[in-house]
Amino acid sequence: VGSTRSGSDFLHLDLDEAPRGGRAEWLASRIRSAILDGRLGTGARLPATRALCADLGVSRGVVTEAYRRLADDGLIAGGGRRGTVVISGFAVTTATATGGIGTPTPTSATGTHTGAAGRPVGRRGSTAVPADGPGSARHDRPPRPLGAPPDPDTFYAMRIADATIDLTPGVPDLARFPRAAWLRAERVVLRDAPAGMLGYGDPRGALPLRTAVAEWVARYRGIRVAPDDVVIVAGVAQALGLLARVLPVHGIRDIAVEDPGSLGTRQVIQEWGMTATPVAVDDEGVQVSRLVASGLPALLATPAHQFPLGVVLSGSRRHELGSWLRDGGLLLEDDYDSEHRYDRPPVPALASVVPQRVCYAGSVSKVLAPALRIGWLIVPAGIRADVIAAKRLVDLGNAVLPQLVLAHLMESGVLERHLRAVRRRHRARRDAMVDAVARHLPCARVHGAAAGLHLTVTTPGVDDAAVASAALDHGVKVQPLSWHRVAPGEPGLVLGYAARTASEIEDGVAVLARCVRAARAG
């Protein structure tokens, strides 16, 4: 766990591509291409030179020289309050296909797994653990269904329940929410927004945010999309719900899901009446050959950072998946935490490679805060009208004021600076957790620590649900890996670190270690 150069999110620049003596020209040409192919439109802001040279691990002169050449070409202009911006780019246009997206391959529902809801859900008895945890045991809590994966209501209730040390995965450092910047932006929005913006609006969302999101995904995820083709949603969970409403109309009722994979997203799919069929994940990510063999028409996956194992889909698997998509498969790409990475280069979204076969969903839940309930969904042209109609039906579109505030934060560079700042903090907390695991749980294997807001430890031979239950009795909340599995597999614990301080992490892992030892002994 070190401070190695991690590459740039901006355009996914990789210094290894650059000839040693020609880095400035290489950088200029990469940015020039992005301007000419529309990824950076007129008005797009380039990173500050200091930030970009830190990301790339080059001297400041390299970036300055590249920017100077682009300015000489009349492509960018520097200085002023907005920094360096593109001045002669093209308007962003889409190149997505307009055909239907119906089922390409017959569905053989081998191993279909439906309805986690309704499973027997039992309360585990107390497991004997030492009584010196940071929180005292509280016996007046409602029954907790650790042991089997909880039903959707219970899973959600557990997710939001209080704990002394909450290591639930998927929550960023909420103490660092940029409150002052949010208020400043809100002041501007309330001063400038025309009254008409306060009426019934476009169900796709407010145009300023759709524009900011189109620029954001172009810069950071390589996706080219017109603002008119972005749908603002209330987070990735809603995006999946909209797709689950729309896809059956297009002949898709059965979706492959990663195993292990997020219990929450699997439940969303199933509650909307679709079937979720598990496909195994290994060290290279989802096993595409099994997906192909299943004949399933669609896959819900997290290619950039697999949940919960943290695998990045390998190059050969990406290639296989690309072929499957071009053959008519459909990917639901849950890009849930692509913004958070520490020791590895960024991975472009699959939606940037085969856009006409990918439904791409992202949100600010893990960049800013889940309580904002703002995300985005970008889908192939063939189902776009249906997705927009579904969004209109569920809520007539997101609330407008937070959309305009967020657009302002994205457009002004505040969000990018915030992301850089929280990434440093998250990395330190990640390091604290890796250290604590190494000291307290030396036998556990750590997975997926190079990115994200959580890591997973596998603990062979231990009943992970019993450990999680015992830990909760001592005030420490974690999710057992078994909850996220369909087929049986190695037990473990999914540990969020981003929202907790180093000392909370230390204390929490110490409690977990005692619970693991007690479970082994029991």
Q: Least distance (Å) from a second copy to the CB of residue 360?
A: 19
Q: Least distance (Å) from a second copy to the CB of residue 377?
A: 13
What does DSSP assign to residue 296?
Answer: -
Helix, strand, coil distribution of the chain in percent, nearest 5: 45, 15, 45
| Residue (242 or 256) nearer to a second copy, CB | 242
CB 229 within 8 A of CB 249: no
The number of CA neighbours under 13 Å toward the Cβ of 437 is 24
Question: To the nearest 10°, the Cα dihedral for 245, 247, 252, 254?
Answer: -50
Q: Least distance (Å) from a second copy to the CB of residue 173?
A: 9
| Residue (240 or 349) nearer to a second copy, CB | 240
| Residue (453 or 515) nearer to a second copy, CB | 453
| Residue (393 or 487) nearer to a second copy, CB | 393
| Residue (55 or 339) nearer to a second copy, CB | 339
| Residue (124 or 392) nearer to a second copy, CB | 392
Q: Residue 167 and residue 125: Cα distance in Å, rounded?
A: 22
Q: Least distance (Å) from a second copy to the CB of residue 103?
A: 22
Q: Least distance (Å) from a second copy to the CB of residue 336?
A: 13
Q: At what angle do helices 400-411 and 179-192 cross, to 10 degrees?
A: 110
453 exposure class (CB count in 10 Å sphere: 0-12, 13-18, 19+): buried
| Residue (9 or 504) nearer to a second copy, CB | 504
Q: Least distance (Å) from a second copy to the CB of residue 481?
A: 20
Q: Residue 286 and residue 307: Cα distance in Å, rounded?
A: 11
Q: What are phi and psi of 495, to 5 degrees?
A: -120, 110
| Residue (91 or 175) nearer to a second copy, CB | 175
CA-based end-to-end distance of the chain: 34
Q: Residue 473 and residue 138: Cα distance in Å, rounded?
A: 6
Q: Residue 149 and residue 482: Cα distance in Å, rounded?
A: 7
CA 6 to chain centroid: 18
Q: Least distance (Å) from a second copy to the CB of residue 237?
A: 5
Q: Mention every residue, 6+ apart, whose C-beta is less than 8 A from residue 221.
A: 335, 338, 348, 349, 351, 352, 360, 362
| Cα distances (angstroms) measured from residue 229 to each of 25, 223, 226, 475 | 34, 12, 5, 45
| Residue (128 or 174) nearer to a second copy, CB | 174
| Residue (68 or 392) nearer to a second copy, CB | 392
Q: Least distance (Å) from a second copy to the CB of residue 241?
A: 6
Q: Least distance (Å) from a second copy to the CB of residue 14?
A: 34
Q: Least distance (Å) from a second copy to the CB of residue 220?
A: 22
* Binding stretches for a second copy (CB under 8 A): 152-153, 156, 159-160, 171, 174-175, 177, 179-180, 182-183, 186-187, 190-191, 195-203, 234-235, 237-238, 241, 268, 271-272, 369-374, 385, 389, 392-402, 499
Amino acid at 133: G
CB 203 within 8 A of CB 392: yes
CB 369 within 8 A of CB 170: no
